[in-house]
Amino acid sequence: MTRKSYNLAFGVTAASALMTLFGVGLLYFNEVSEATLTASGGVLTTLISVQHTEQKKGELCELLKKLSE
The residue segments making up the domain with residue 54 are: 2-68
Residue 65 has pLDDT above 80, yes or no: yes
The count of structural domains within the chain is 1
Over the chain, what is the mean pLDDT?
78
H helices of the chain, in order, are 2-28, 32-68
Tell me what pLDDT residue 32 has.
Answer: 65
Tell me what pLDDT residue 30 has.
Answer: 74
In percent, the amount of the chain with pLDDT more than 70 equals 90
Tell me: the pLDDT tens digits for 2-28?
677 777 777 877 877 787 788 778 777
Average pLDDT over residues 41-53: 79
- Which residues, at least 6 apart from 16, have a Cβ–Cβ distance to it below 8 Å? 42, 43, 45, 46, 49
